[in-house]
Amino acid sequence: MAQRTKKTVETHRSGRIGWLRAAVLGANDGLISTSSLVVGVAAAAPAPGAILVAAIAGLVAGALSMAAGEYVSVSSQADTEMADLALERRELAASPEAEHSELTAIYESRGLSRDLALQVATQLTAHDALGAHARDELGFSPHSRARPVEAALASAASFAVGAAPPAILVVLVPANVLTPSIAAVTVALLLVLGAVAGRLGGASPLRGALRVAFWGAMAMGATDAVGRLFGATV
């Protein structure tokens, strides 16, 4: 009796592009910007309450800013996609033969014979003409489709998650060791976050970890210098 072969399910990283980009960007920005803000304010030696207010304000303002920016950006992409699809729909209605020939030429350019390309174009046009042109002519796919609300929520949530550790440390850690504590925790978390992002994206975890941690340390060093400079002159 013939053995049944198991159907393997392939998992591609392209399906993660939308949410991974927004989540990684938001978490990195939340952790780096809030930690840098707290370190800079703490370097000016204000009252502990002022540092906490700065941390919370940075978290809230940053999360809302990330959500708004991501929503506007992705909405613009969605508007462009919709405009292109509307144009393609009109062209299909006005010149179906020309559009069929265009689709056939696309498949020929990808290596199919003329006869096979014609058959494929004919069958895909009969099944879903607009979908075939959206995918093979315009390059649209379900994985890369613009989703403004999803991107905005992911950015805001991930920013808040990234900004939470430095805000929590302001409450728990004494003022005299606040700056080194935040710096150490931030760099450690950035190493983990960079490694995870690199792993999920198919890149080197070590390279991803080091580049994120480097820029985070640079940002905290710069804001610490600014806080000390202006704190000393106030």
pLDDT at residue 196, rounded to an integer: 78
Cα(200)–Cα(20) distance, rounded to whole angstroms? 8
The H or E element that residue 228 is part of is helix 205-233
Band (233; pLDDT cuts 50, 70, 90): very low
For the entire predicted model, the pTM comes to 0.67
Considering Cα of 231, then 179, then 36, then 66, what sign does the dihedral take? negative
Cα(127)–Cα(110) distance, rounded to whole angstroms? 21
Identify whether the C-beta of residue 37 lies closer than 8 Å to the C-beta of residue 227: no
Cα(202)–Cα(12) distance, rounded to whole angstroms? 10
Cα(181)–Cα(177) distance, rounded to whole angstroms? 6
Cα(25)–Cα(16) distance, rounded to whole angstroms? 14
What six digits make up the tokens of 142?
């379900």
What six digits make up the tokens of 199?
């792993």
The predicted model gives 205-211 an average pLDDT of: 82
Tens of pLDDT, residue by residue over 112-156, are: 888 898 888 888 888 888 888 888 877 777 666 667 888 888 888
pLDDT exceeds 90 at position 57: yes
CA-based R_g, the chain, Å: 25
Q: 64: exposed, middle or buried (C-beta count within 10 Å: 0-12, 13-18, 19+)?
A: middle
Identify whether the C-beta of residue 127 lies closer than 8 Å to the C-beta of residue 135: no
Identify whether the C-beta of residue 16 lies closer than 8 Å to the C-beta of residue 206: no
Tens of pLDDT, residue by residue over 62-81, are: 999 988 988 898 888 888 88
Helix intervals (H) in 95-177: 96-109, 114-136, 148-172
Cα(162)–Cα(70) distance, rounded to whole angstroms? 17
